[in-house]
Amino acid sequence: MKNQDKEIAQKIKDGSYFNDAHEWYMQRYITVVTERSFLIILAGIFCICFILLSLNLSAIIDKTPKVPLPIEVDNSTDYFSFIKPIAKKEETTQEAMARYFIEDYVKTREEYLPDEMYGEKFQYKMKKVKSTSSKKVLNEYMNYMNDLNPYSPVARYKDHTERAIKIRSVEFIGDDKTSGQARVLFTATVIEPRTSEELEEERLKEGKVTGYKKISRSSWEATVHFRLPDIETIARTGAPLRFIVKYYGIRLLGK
């Protein structure tokens, strides 16, 4: 008889074989089922606790008093949209668009606001003039704006004086509105600080100073040669609309 068989016979004889078999059966089947049942019960208890906690939080949130806060807003019913047409009476679409672009070009080119001479506003101004000027007209404008030019508004006005432009009229020369000419009359208003000599002179004469800035106005005439594609053709074909100034000149009419 083999040693293994003798060992089994000995365990059967002393009863330890059956104890070992019973212990193996308990670990293999009974203990596993018990542990699994315990985990299921524990998970169920956790879910119940979570649900109760959620219900309690919801009850607390619902019981939080809601305090109304007054907010002031504009009454939109007091305002009405207003669209200002660019066309004047008895004016064609071509004439209206040409006049609008010419007025905007003259105003952009002639106006000088210190706040717009720096950063993004200055870049926008230069880009606007560049996109609506021929190469020759753009070069003339760049030379005019150069701070080395003593007549440049940058050199004359710097950051203390502003020049506002008001368009008085636009008169077309000839019947061609796609590649034509226009005469523009405008008023320039220059607002600049008064010198110390001027302030002292007024103080001695009037006994007081009425203001620290002086305003001067002058009348000007601008001659604009332009090119503007036919608006009806643009609307029908969807071609790009590009307004170009081919010549620009101004002269002083009076102060």
Q: What is the CA radius of gyration of the chain?
A: 45
| Cβ-Cβ contacts under 8 Å for 161 (sequence gap 6 or more) | 112, 114, 190, 191, 192, 193
pLDDT at 80: 43
Q: pLDDT value at position 232?
A: 86
* pTM, two decimal places: 0.61
- Residue 9: per-residue pLDDT: 62
Which pLDDT belongs to residue 116? 84
Which of helix, strand or coil describes residue 221? strand
pLDDT at residue number 210: 59
φ, ψ (nearest 5 deg) of residue 140: -65, -40
Lowest mean pLDDT across 40-49, 82-91, 239-248: 82-91
**What is the identity of the amino acid at 73?**
V
The pLDDT score that the predictor gives to residue 237 is 86
Phi, psi (rounded to 5 degrees) for 147: -70, -10
Predicted pLDDT of residue 108: 94
Measured over the CA atoms of residue 28, residue 30, residue 31 and residue 32, the dihedral's sign is: positive
Report the percent of the chain where pLDDT is more than 90: 33
Q: How would residue 245 be classed by pLDDT, with cut points 50, 70 and 90?
A: very high
Residue type, 82: F
Does the structure show a pLDDT above 90 at 215? no
Q: Is the pLDDT of residue 14 over 70?
A: no
Rounded to 10 deg, the angle between the 119-131 and 93-110 helix axes is 140
Tokens describing residue 44: 């169920």
Q: Average the pLDDT over 85-101 and give the result.
A: 80
Query: With 90 as the cut, is the pLDDT of residue 236 above it?
Result: no
Name 174's Cβ contacts closer than 8 Å, sequence gap at least 6: 180, 181
CA-angle at 72, arms to 67 and 78, nearest 5°: 140
Residue-wise pLDDT tens digits, 33-69 = 566 776 788 777 878 887 877 777 666 665 555 555 5
Count of other CB atoms within 10 angstroms of residue 144: 14
Cβ atoms of 245 and 133 within 8 Å: the answer is yes
CB 143 within 8 A of CB 132: no
Q: What does the alpha-carbon distance between residue 251 and residue 214 come to, in Å, rounded to a whole number?
A: 23
Confidence of residue 79 (pLDDT cuts 50, 70, 90): very low
Return the DSSP state at 194.
Answer: P
pLDDT digits (tens, 9 = 90+) for 106-133: 999 999 998 888 889 889 999 999 999 9
**pLDDT for position 110:** 95
Q: What is the mean pLDDT of residues 194-205?
A: 66
In the three-class reduction of DSSP (H, G, I as helix; E, B as strand; rest coil), residue 117 is classed as: coil
Dist CA 91 CA 86 (whole Å): 10
